[in-house]
Amino acid sequence: MNAALMKRIVRAIAERSTDDLDALAELLIESERSSGHVRIAEQLESAFRSARQGADSGRSSSPRRMMELPSAKRGGELLLTMVPQERLEHHMVLPVDVESRFCRIESEYAARERLGMHGLKPRKTVLLYGPPGCGKSLGAQRLAWNTGLPLLKVRFDAILSSYFGESAANLRAVFDAAKSRPCVLLLDECDFIARSRTGNRDIGEASRIVNSLLLLMDEFDAPGLLVATTNTESALDPAFIRRFDDSLLIPKPGVQEVERLLADSLRNIGVEQCMNWQMIVATLAGASAADVVKVARDAAKATILAGEKTVTRERLDAAIRELKRLDA
């Protein structure tokens, strides 16, 4: 069993979260099976199913284990997308100060009951902003993974309606869903619905949506977290920004972060010993984290397809040249 899974199981036990324990038990069973421990996985699965059936038969009525996702009033489209726990990416390479702020949010959530005993509340609303490709959406996934919460992504295309008041009603349904069970509610690229009202000629539905969003933010007291991301913080309504407990700039990676991203992305394949990392890092100056990872992975794939075992400087240079052609 890996350390991350052990931490999540211990946290769920401490919080007496039976729903999370059920999901983690299934993850543990699948982890053992994928590791080749088939007999142990079968024994664990048998014990889990037996205990689960006993617990269910002892209850006359039980709450639904899975959250029912809300749908649009007209058309019936789902307003939220649930990202399965096994699909969450959570490894980030960040400057020390940004990493410490992420850790603070996670620590406060884990200690929310102790904070409450002293009349204090954890940070629950977080705005992540910065250049494209630097890990804002990844940051939301990381918070979901490290808190053990499911990630629910808002579908703005389903929320918006041309009918009077319907968009605001859909938005409220989304926030109500976040209150029904702890989760990370993700407003990805939130400038889609939270653009500044200053100078906005549209005084109709668009402004009503922003006003509704501000009201829902004021009332937000769900048991999980709300995370919003944007590439254009300056375009957001100032009143919307003020309603966040914390705002984190996710910057482009510096020299140290580029080195770590390359090393992490190439750790499963050999690299030639005479590699001049300083020159390669200098060539990638100003690149986003996503671009650095893409360069490393493209070089690794080219190496494997060529039947070779070690990534060379030439492979990395070729991947960098291709990246720059695409960005030109």
**Per-residue pLDDT tens for 187-222?**
999 988 888 776 555 556 677 889 999 999 999 999
**CA atoms within 13 Å, Cβ hemisphere of 69:** 19
d(CA 82, CA 184): 10
Beta partners for residue 230, in sequence order: 129
d(CA 256, CA 281): 9
Q: Residue 60's pLDDT band (boundaries 50, 70, 90)? A: very low
Q: Residue 160's pLDDT band (boundaries 50, 70, 90)? A: confident
d(CA 72, CA 168): 11
Q: Where are the beta strands (DSSP E) in the chain?
A: 80-83, 125-129, 151-154, 184-187, 225-230, 246-249, 270-271, 310-311
**Model confidence, pTM:** 0.76
Beta partners for residue 126, in sequence order: 227, 246
pLDDT at position 19 is 62
pLDDT at position 146 is 94
Provide the residue count of the chain: 328
Cα 148 from chain centre: 11
Query: 55, 218, 78, 95: which is closest to 155 by C-alpha?
Result: 78
Return the structure tokens found at 231.
């590439």
d(CA 90, CA 37): 26
d(CA 328, CA 323): 9
Burial of 317 (0-12, 13-18, 19+ CB in 10 A): middle
Is 12:24 a contact under the CB 8 Å cutoff? yes
Is 215:182 a contact under the CB 8 Å cutoff? no
Return the structure tokens found at 149.
């919460």
Q: How far is CA 75 from CA 79, 156, 167, in A?
A: 11, 14, 13
Is 125:243 a contact under the CB 8 Å cutoff? yes
Give percent above pLDDT 70 in the chain: 85
d(CA 298, CA 317): 11
Beta partners for residue 196, in sequence order: none
If one counts every other C-beta atom within 10 angstroms of the C-beta of residue 227, the result is 29
pLDDT tens, residue by residue, 233-286: 888 999 999 999 999 999 999 999 999 999 999 999 999 999 999 999 999 999
Is 241:233 a contact under the CB 8 Å cutoff? yes
d(CA 95, CA 251): 8
d(CA 53, CA 26): 15
If one counts every other C-beta atom within 10 angstroms of the C-beta of residue 324, the result is 14
DSSP 119-147: T-----EEEEE-STTSSHHHHHHHHHHHH
pLDDT tens, residue by residue, 276-324: 999 999 999 999 999 999 999 999 999 999 999 999 999 999 999 999 9
